[in-house]
């Protein structure tokens, strides 16, 4: 069984192992009741979260989102017109709040001026075109752009983060450790199994599963005991030799 896993381990088998161990994660968390009550778009909460989560823990992002919601500020039009000092105060728990406030303002202003704050119009284009737009905005790199595309736009693209890079190195997977190469590898294997109309949800779940794996077991200082990948991980074997 161990030999078989070593031979077959790729993103498809990784997904199957992790989903069997952890179950569905149902990402990205949004406050549906808040948006229903206030007539706002829950996808913008995801976009804001993708910016705020840069270089911080999600628990800090939750505090900032609660601050914004408590003042009913979590809206494209409102943030596009909001004073930057107040925005900094609201998102302070996430750290780097000066930079993040500027990035959020720029993004909200862009969506408001070009799309009248209509996210349906923004996401109703070719994936490559949306990604190019996002990457042209200050402070939006590949991981942030892909998080917005996948979780807010339901676009078929896999998000590569630090946890993904870590497990690629530790297992290891036979892959060049460059963002685009990792992304292509994960997508190509999963597309062999799943249809286009379901692949976005699979990318969603696998990314979330890799995050919980990284937080629970595959930490910077790993906890390999009872890790679902222990038997097929070269890093784990080295630690026990």
DSSP annotation string for 77-112: HHHHHS-HHHHHHHHGGGS-HHHHHHHHHHHHHHHH
Summarised one tens digit per residue, pLDDT across range 31-54 is: 999 999 999 999 999 999 999 999
Reported CATH class of domain 2-25+159-240: mainly alpha
Look up the CATH superfamily of 32-152.
Answer: Hypothetical protein; domain 2 (1.10.340.30)
What is the phi/psi pair of residue 31, to 5°?
-95, 85
Q: Where in the chain is the domain with CATH 1.10.340.30?
A: 32-152
CA dist 213 and 86 (Å) reads 36
Summarised one tens digit per residue, pLDDT across range 50-97 is: 999 999 999 999 999 999 999 999 999 999 999 999 999 999 999 999
What pLDDT, on the 0 to 100 scale, is given for residue 239? 67
CA dist 168 and 172 (Å) reads 5
CA dist 57 and 102 (Å) reads 20
CB half-sphere exposure, 15, CA atoms < 13 A: 19
Summarised one tens digit per residue, pLDDT across range 5-14 is: 444 678 999 9
Cα dihedral value 76, 77, 80, 84, nearest 10: -90
Look up tokens 């829950």; give the residue. Answer: 42
Tell me 230's DSSP state.
Answer: G
The pTM assigned to this predicted structure is 0.93
pLDDT above 70 covers what percent of the chain? Answer: 95
Q: 32-50 burial, b if ≥16 CB within 10 A, otherwise e?
A: eebbeeeebbbbbbbbbbb
What pLDDT, on the 0 to 100 scale, is given for residue 196? 84
Are the C-beta atoms of residues 119 and 113 closer than 8 Å to each other? no
Look up tokens 């939006």; give the residue. Answer: 140
Q: Where in the chain is the domain with CATH 1.10.1670.10?
A: 2-25+159-240
Direct distance between the N- and C-terminal alpha carbons of the chain, in angstroms, rounded to an integer = 20
What pLDDT, on the 0 to 100 scale, is given for residue 237? 73
What lies within 8 Å, CB to CB, of 237 at 6+ separation is: none
Lookup: tokens for 206: 């696998």
In this prediction, residues 207-212 reach a mean pLDDT of 96
């Amino acid at each position: 069984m161990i030999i078989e896993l070593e031979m077959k381990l790729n993103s498809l088998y990784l997904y199957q192992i992790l989903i069997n161990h952890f179950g569905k994660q149902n990402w990205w968390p949004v406050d549906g009741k808040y948006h229903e009550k206030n007539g706002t778009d829950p996808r913008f909460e995801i976009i804001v979260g993708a910016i705020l989560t840069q270089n911080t823990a999600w628990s800090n992002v939750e505090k900032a989102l609660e601050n914004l919601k408590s003042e009913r500020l979590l809206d494209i039009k409102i943030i596009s017109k909001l004073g930057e000092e107040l925005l900094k105060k609201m998102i302070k728990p996430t750290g780097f709040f000066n930079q993040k406030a500027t990035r959020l303002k720029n993004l909200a202003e862009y969506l408001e001026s070009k799309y009248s704050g209509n996210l349906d119009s923004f996401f109703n284009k070719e994936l490559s075109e949306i990604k190019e737009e996002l990457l042209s905005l200050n402070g939006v790199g590949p991981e942030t752009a892909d998080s917005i595309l996948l979780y807010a736009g339901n676009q078929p693209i896999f998000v590569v983060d630090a946890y993904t890079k870590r497990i690629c190195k530790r297992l290891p997977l036979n892959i060049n450790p460059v963002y685009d190469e990792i992304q292509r590898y994960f997508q190509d294997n999963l597309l062999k199994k799943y249809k286009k109309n379901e692949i976005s949800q699979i990318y969603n779940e696998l990314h979330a599963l890799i995050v919980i794996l990284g937080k629970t077991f595959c930490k910077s200082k790993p906890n390999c005991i009872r890790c679902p990948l222990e038997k097929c991980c070269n890093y784990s074997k080295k630690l026990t030799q």
